[in-house]
A and B are shown apart, each in its own frame.
Chain A
C-alpha cells in the first residue's frame, strides 16, 4: 500500500519530462472519448426516456433529444406505491444484512486460514477452493434448497447463496498476509489479548480498506441479484426490486405478443400498464442507489482488485 504514491509520482514525472501533446495523443484521446460515449450513452438514454412524454415515444421512438418531456413516467412508478417501498425495504435488508454477515464470517475464515501455526489451515484452503472447481449447478441447488431444506420463499435464500465467495475470502486473506504485520497480532497476544480479542480489535479494524472493496462488490451483487429471487420468492411482501423489474418485463411482453393491437390503441392503454417511460423510471429507481454510492467506493474497489490479484 505504501508503494502507491511513489509509483504515481514517478508516472507524473515521466509524463512531464518526456510526453508531448502530439497528434497521436489527440487521436488516442478521441478514441477513448468515443468509447466512453458508447459506455455511457445507454445509461443516459434511461434517464432521458424516463422523462420523455409517453406518446412521443410510441410515435417517434426512444430518443436522446425528445421534443416533449413529461413527468408521467415517474408518477406512474409511484403508482406501484406500496409494492415499490416494500421491495425497496426487502432489497435494502438483504443487501445490508448479507454484506455485513458475509464480510464478518469471511474475514474470520480468512484470518484462521492465514495463521501459519494452525495446521488445519491447509484443509480450510482446500475446502474453500473446491467449490470454485466443481459445483452442483442450478438444478441441484434448486432441488436441495427447496425440497430438502424447505426454504422456498425464504429470504435466507437471497442472503446465504451470495454471502461467501472463494475469491473474496482469498482477497481478504491476501490482505491479512501482505498488509497486516503479524508482529502486531503477536504483540497483542503477549499483552494478554485472547485469540478472539486479537481478531476483533486488531485484525478486523486494520482490514477496513479490503473490507470496503469486497463489501461494495458484495453489496452490488446483492442489489442486482434477480435470479435467486426469481427462483425462490413468491410472496409479494418478500419480492426485491429486481424481481419487480422482471415482472414489469412480463407484462410488457404480454402486450407486445398481442400483435394485432395497433400502436394508437397501445398508447391509449398506456395508463393501465407500465409503458416505456414508466419502465425506464423504474429502472432509475432500481439502479439509482448504486450509481450514487459507486463514486465513493471507486478507489476502494480498484485497490481491492489489485490486492486480490496478488496470489498468496
Chain B
C-alpha cells in the first residue's frame, strides 16, 4: 500500500494528466448510472433522483401490465439487431473481399470514396433522402412503379425500408476495417497456394476469409453489448416518429426518447431503461466469456 502511494506520488504528473477525462467520465457516464435506481422509485422532480421515495417493484408491475408495448419494443430492438448485424457483417465482408479482389485499383479507390459518403450524413438529413424515395405523391419509387403506396401509413413495409437505409448508410464504411485486415495478409501465402494449384475461390475460402475471422469476432463481440441499444436516429428520424408505424419501427431507444419529450409513462420508461442496461451488461459479459473460451486472444478483457 505504501509502495502504491509512493508510486502514485512519484507519478503525480500522470494523475494530473488523467484527471480531466476522469472527471468527464465520472460526471457524464458514472453519475447517470446511479440514475438507474429510478426504476425502483416513484420519481418526483422536486425531490430529485436520490430524494424520491422508493416504490419497490411497482414500476416493473406496470411494465408487465402494459406488456404489449414492452414486448413490441423489445422484440423490434432484438430483431433489428439480428438483421442489421447478420446482413451488415456479411455485406461488409463481401464488399471488402470484392474490392480486394478487383484488379482495377484506381477505380475501386474512387468507388470506395463514394461508398463511404453516406455514413457522414446524419439521420436528421437522411430522413429527407428517404422521403424523396418513398413519399406518396412525389416519391421516386411510386413514380417509377406507377403505384400509389402510402409508405408512411404502412408498417409492414418498414422493416425493408429501415434495413435498406441502414445498409446504404453503413456498408461502405463498415468494409474499411476488413479491408485494412486484407491489406495486411502476407502475399506469400497466396503465392504458395497458387503453386499448390489453388484457384481464386479456393484462395478466398482458405486464406482470405480465415484471416478475417478474428476481426469479425471482435466486431461481433463489441456489438453484442449493444443488442438493447439501437441507432436511435434511424428509428426516430427516418420513421418521423410516426405512431402508425410503431408496431414495426419502435425500439427501446426511440421509445425512451419519445417518452422524455411527452413526459409520459415515467415509471414504465425507467423500468425499461433499467432492463435495457442490465441485459446489455449481461450480454456483453456473456459474449466476452464465450470468446475467451473459443479464442482467448480475441477477448476484450
Contact = CB atoms under 8 A, between A and B. Distances in A.
Given A109-B22, A138-B273, A249-B240, A39 B301 contact: no
B118 A39 contact: yes
Nearest to B144: A61
A36 to B, nearest CB: 4
A60 B103 CA distance: 42
B29 A58 contact: no
A302 B17 CA distance: 28
Interface string A243-267: 0011001000100000000010000
B21 A105 contact: yes
Contacts, number: 304
Given A134-B281, A309-B177, A42 B133 contact: yes
Interface string A26-48: 00110111011011101101100
A12 B200 CA distance: 17
A305 B49 contact: no
B69 to A, nearest CB: 15
Nearest to A20: B103
Contact of A112 (B15, B28, B301): B15
A226 interface: yes
Contacts of B105: 12, 15
A118 B3 CA distance: 12
Interface in A1-59: 7-8, 10-15, 18-19, 21, 24-25, 28-29, 31-33, 35-36, 38-40, 42-43, 45-46, 49, 57-58
B36 A133 contact: no
A286 interface: yes
B67 to A, nearest CB: 19
Contacts of B205: none
Range, interface on chain A: 35 or more
Interface in B169-209: 171-172, 176-177, 180-181, 183-184, 187, 190-191, 194, 200
B269 interface: yes
B155 interface: no
Contacts of A7: 183-184
Contact of B232 (A43, A199, A227): A227
B114 interface: yes
Contacts of A124: 18, 22
A226 B128 contact: no
A226 B124 contact: yes
B111 A33 contact: yes
A106 B181 contact: no
A39 B28 contact: no
Question: Can you list the 7 inter-chain pairs with the closest CB atoms, starting with the nearest?
Answer: A140-B35, A195-B13, A136-B32, A224-B122, A109-B21, A105-B20, A112-B14
Interface of A: 7-8, 10-15, 18-19, 21, 24-25, 28-29, 31-33, 35-36, 38-40, 42-43, 45-46, 49, 57-58, 60-63, 105-106, 108-109, 111-113, 115, 117-121, 124, 127-145, 147-149, 160-161, 163-164, 169, 194-196, 199, 220, 223-227, 231, 242, 245-246, 249, 253, 263, 276, 279-280, 283, 286-287, 290-291, 294-295, 298, 302, 305-306, 309, 311
Given A58-B138, A108-B20, A231-B260, 18 more contacts: A25-B102, A32-B98, A60-B138, A112-B17, A119-B7, A120-B7, A129-B301, A131-B25, A137-B274, A137-B277, A138-B257, A141-B32, A145-B32, A169-B21, A224-B121, A249-B128, A283-B128, A311-B218
